Amino acid sequence: MKVCSQCGTANNDSAKFCKGCGNNVEAAQPVAQPVAQPVQPVSQAQPMAQPMQPMQPVSQQPAQPMFVQQNPQMTHPTQPAQPMMQQAPAMQGAPHYTQPMNQINSEQMVDFFHWLISAIKKPSQQYHVSSLYAVLVFVISALVSAIQTYFTVQSGANIFNSFTKVGTNLLSSMSERSISAPRVSVPISVFIAAFFAAMISVYMTFVVALIGAKMFGDPMSASQLHVQFAQKMVPIVTIQICAALLGILTLSTPSVFLQIFAGFLTMLLPFSFVSHAECTRKIDREWLWVIYVLVAAIILIIVFCVTMGIVTSAISSAIYGALLH
């Protein structure tokens, strides 16, 4: 077989010219065989394109890591996303700071009498108790003050009755006729008036302390100040109890002295609180102190006049009614 070197067509051995292109294949006969052999590999150059097929796996191999890299990238943002979702329990954990506080308060809720004893021993310490305990302290203070006032007035009425009895007996002996002596008795209305006057006085004193705390910008709440004010009232209440006992025993002079002393200490309590108050205002503390003392003095003087007017009017009406009878 003779293969044309131009077109590669196979011709018979006896052919002189290529039947495909007409080229002279006779001269290229000896070279045709060696050329035909490399031509076949050349004609098989298409397998050279086959190495391009392995390029597809190569191109697919980096494509697969790209997907592999994308998967970590998809999982990587999810990792910070999980802590972001975990911040919601953190926000829910904020009430846990208040729950222990409520538990602490409930554990420290000692009974009233134990708190009174502790407040008598160390009234400057802070105790976590209910605000109702403070109300009870104020009520006891007003009640004891009313008892002392009632028995003091009753003692004065007894002295008045004894003097009028001596005077009427003297007049009866001189005029030789019987003269009835007027007898003064203290009605229960005096006790009620003294009780309400004492309650007004104590609570207005607390209001004066609260005004000072707000004036200075102290962060203490009204309920906390209420309890601390009652704690500092406990030693004063013990003095009032002693004054009431002396009044019951008809020892009017020391009873009145102790009652006045207890009232003076009560009037000083607002100034004691404000002197230790935290000042958060832009105005200087000394100027705030001067303004507060002026305002507190005016309020306390008005309260003193009103409460004394209530008690004296009740006493005078009782004496006037007894003299008319």
> How large a percentage of the chain has pLDDT more than 90?
26
294 has pLDDT over 50: yes
**151: nearest Cα among 98, 189, 183, 191:** 191
Average pLDDT of 156-174? 75
H helices of 176-221, in order, are: 188-216
Contact 131, 234 (CB under 8 A): no
> How large a percentage of the chain has pLDDT more than 70?
69
Residues 120-146 pLDDT 10s = 888 878 777 778 888 999 999 999 999
For 175-191, b/e burial (b = at least 16 CB within 10 A) is: eeeeeeeeebebeeebb
Residue 178 DSSP code: -
Residues 140-153 pLDDT 10s = 999 999 999 998 88
Residues 14-54 pLDDT 10s = 777 777 777 776 654 444 444 444 444 444 444 444 444 44
- Max mean pLDDT among 4-8, 25-29, 41-45, 303-307 falls in 303-307
Residues 59-82 pLDDT 10s = 444 444 444 444 444 444 444 444
Q: Is the pTM of this model over 0.75?
A: no
Q: What are the structural domain ranges in the chain? A: 2-42, 112-324
Residue 11's DSSP bridge partners are: 2
